[in-house]
Every structure is written in structure tokens, then in C-alpha cells.
Structure 1
Amino acid sequence: MSLPDGVSRHDFDGTTSIATRGHPEYGERTDGEWRRWDPHRSKLGAMLELGMETGLTADQTTLYLGAAAGTTVSHVADFGGPTYAVEFAPRPTRDLLDVAERRSNLFPLLKDARKPETYAHVVEPVDVLVQDVATRGQGRVATLNRQFLADDGYLLAAIKARSEDVTADPEDVFDEVLADIDAAYDVVATERLTPYHDDHLGVVARPER
């Protein structure tokens, strides 16, 4: 498995896991300056643990959609460059602000990922677009935010089947969302995120040329 600089496999009391260096934020195990990147709490962490080639690199500029309280985006900011974190709900955004106080490169935005025009004046072109939004129209969210992604960048999306349709077969939902993503991207890899997250699909895509 290829890991970006700044992410390493580390031993935590006999358990080996991916980890970053930074301030702990969600009760994760720590060892000195290392903090475990818990794949059960992070879809992107699950993608890395499962060996998906994400294209992540150190010091990249990132737009993170669906940052919630900052669990995953805190790890991204640990090894990345400027990191813009979009979250719609005010309550988790308050926790996200606390996370950002400890990371000068993390910029929280209380915005709706379905309305990128509301933050287009703030976000610079990015190297990677990470998406973890619990909403209908996840494929459309990815295509709407394509405008921020460099032509040689990566979309890393965690598609949640139950957010689209709680009654449909997850595989059918994934096919529909991927069809929407195909409008603006070339999908290069997909993988179910079990055993870490049920009914989720990890997606790696590149901007369509």
C-alpha cells in the first residue's frame, strides 16, 4: 500500500494502524506525537487501510466536503497544505472551529456543499477534492465542485447508499451515483468500505479531459 508522506503505519499498544502527527481530536489512540487514523471513524482512513491508491501527497491543497466535527479533515490537515473544510450544520462546525485553532492550515466554512457558489470566492484551486456528504445527489455534489479541482487532481469520495435511498439495493445506488460522477470525471477505482463502513463505496476519480 502506498501512503503519502506524513502518513505512516505505527504501532499503538500492539495494534498497527495508519497514523499522522498532530493533536488528538476524537479520542483516538496516541503514541507521542502520533495519532491513530481510525478507519472505523473515517471513510478516507478506510480507503487508505484497504489499499486504495488515492493520489494523496504531502502539502497538497484540499477541499473537504462534509467535514462534520473534523475527525478526518484533521488528519488531512496534519500532513497537507491549505485545507478548506465545508460543513453545513452549525453544531459540528463549532467543534470543527476548535480543531482548526490547533491547525493554522485548516479553514472551516459553514456552507452547503450543494451550493459551491457560496464559497467560490474563498476557495483557491485545489489538488484534491474529498467528499463525504450524507445527502441525496452525491454525484451532483461532486460535479458541482469540479470547478475547484486542478486538471491533474483527484476526487476521493465516500458514497453513502442510505443517504440516496434507504430502500434501494446499495449496488443500484452506487451505479446511479457513479453515472452522475462520470459526467465530469473518469472513475479510476472503486471499492466497498467494508468491514469499516456498511453500504459505503470508496471512489477515486480524475477530472475528465
Structure 2
Amino acid sequence: MTLPEGVERREVDGDEGLATRGEPVYGEPTEDGWRRWDRSRSKLAVLLGREVETGLTADSTVLYLGAASGTTVSHVADVAGPTYAVEFAPRPMRDLVGVAEARPNLFPLLKDARKPEHYAHVVEPVDLIVQDVAIRGQGEVAVANKQFLRDGGRLVLAIKARSEDVTRDPDEVFDDVLDTVEAEYEIRYTDGLEPFHEDHLGVVAEPK
């Protein structure tokens, strides 16, 4: 698998890693218009660095759940087409709106990813859902938002065990979340995101 068009392995500020073209957002190093995509701050970047087939392309329409201040979704919007960024908290949303000013294809939505009916009138069918929400019920969020995903589309899910249940073994939590997801999706890839993100599982799935 090759990297998606618009994502390259480049030396930026003397260190080689993934990079996209765009305005800097979170203090990342830049060089010749390229900005470092920091794997320690982006679960999606970890998967891309492993050359996992995520479904991200230059033509993708994307729904990003849990956009926060825009760290990862800014890179996604640098690469993809229309990118809908759902974030529940007002404070990071203010930063996200600023990130979108330089990216006309990035649409911030101050909404709750657990309640897709509140943004269903805005979001068009998408090719890719990227989910990175630090709440309980991460599997239920993936299932609820499947309605937006086109046939043949992909879900890229970062499961955060400690957000589901801080008292349980992470592997048990991952199994429970995957059981929920598998009701509506075929799992294509799973692997831990260490050393960059402890107690996280990266998942790629396709709708049944």
C-alpha cells in the first residue's frame, strides 16, 4: 500500500516523518509548505505510517467524529475533499473554527457524536468516518453514525480503553467495543497504537 495522495514521507526540520501541505495548526514543524503530521498526537497518522489501508484519498468525503481543536482533522482536510468535523466541547470548537478559516473544505459542527440526528440534515454521504471520541459507548457511536457511510466506505476507529472503563483490563474493553461494532461492520484491521498512544486500539472496518 502506498500513502494517500497528498501525504508524503518527508524530512521536515531535520526529522523524517509523514507530512501534508497546509497552514500549520499546533506548532508542528514546517518546511517548503509541508507540515509534519505528528504521530504522537494523531492516531490516524500512526495507521498511515504503518501503511494500513484507511480509505483516505484525495477524493474522499470525510466525517470526523471527535475533532477537538483540529490537530488530526486539519491534516485530513489538507488531503481530502469535504470534511465534516464534529466536536461537542465549545472551547476546542473555537480553535477548530480558526483552523477551518484556512481550509474551505473543512466544516466544523458543534454537535454530540452520540446524537447523529442533530447533524444528519447537514452531513452528506461520506466515504470515510474517522472516530476519535474519548467517551463511554464508543462502539455505539460507530454504529449510530454508520448511516452516513457509503457502500464500500470505511470506518477508522481509535478505541480508548480508559475512556470506556478505567478499572478494567484494556483488552477486555477492546473486545466489548469490537463486539458492538461487529453488529454493523466487518472488521478489516485491528492493532494497538503503542508506543505513541497507550491503551488505544486502531480499527479499520467496512459496513455490512
Normalising by the smaller structure, the TM-score range is over 0.9
Quote the offset at 1:193 in angstroms.
Answer: 0.3
- What residue number does 1:28 align with? 28
Is 1:166 paired with 2:166?
yes
Q: What amino acid is the match of 2:69?
A: A
- 1:148-204 Cα offsets, whole Å, 9 max, x none, are 000110000100000000011100000000000001100000110001100000000
CA distance in 2, matches of 1:50, 1:196: 12
CA distance in 1, matches of 2:195, 2:51: 13
Q: What amino acid is the match of 1:133?
A: V
Does the CA contact (< 8 Å) of 2:193 and 2:202 recur in 1? yes
- What residue number does 1:206 align with? 206
Q: What amino acid is the match of 1:94?
A: R
Is 1:18 paired with 2:13?
no
RMSD over aligned Cα, in angstroms? 0.8
Quote the offset at 1:130 in angstroms.
Answer: 0.4
State the number of aligned residues.
208
Q: For residue 93 of structure 2, give the secondary structure of its aligned residue in structure 1.
A: helix
- 1:33-56 Cα offsets, whole Å, 9 max, x none, are 100000001111111123322121
Q: What amino acid is the match of 1:187?
A: I
Q: What amino acid is the match of 2:148?
A: F
Q: For residue 167 of structure 1, give the secondary structure of its aligned residue in structure 2.
A: coil
- What residue number does 1:7 align with? 7
- 1:88-134 Cα offsets, whole Å, 9 max, x none, are 00000000000000100000000000000000000000000000000
- What residue number does 1:124 align with? 124
Q: For residues 66-105 of structure 1, what are the structure 2 equivalents within 5 Å? A: 66-105=66-105
Quote the offset at 1:59 in angstroms.
Answer: 2.3
What TM-score do the two structures reach when normalised by structure 1? 0.98
CA distance in 1, matches of 2:105, 2:87: 16
Share of identical aligned residues, percent? 67
CA distance in 1, matches of 2:50, 2:18: 11
CA distance in 2, matches of 1:89, 1:55: 27
- What residue number does 1:155 align with? 155
Structure 1 portions without partners, runs of 5+? none
Q: What amino acid is the match of 1:126?
A: V
CA distance in 2, matches of 1:2, 1:175: 30
CA distance in 1, matches of 2:192, 2:60: 26
Structure 2 portions without partners, runs of 5+? none
CA distance in 2, matches of 1:153, 1:118: 22
Q: What amino acid is the match of 2:23?
A: H
Is 1:144 paired with 2:135?
no
What TM-score do the two structures reach when normalised by structure 2? 0.98
Q: What amino acid is the match of 2:117?
A: E
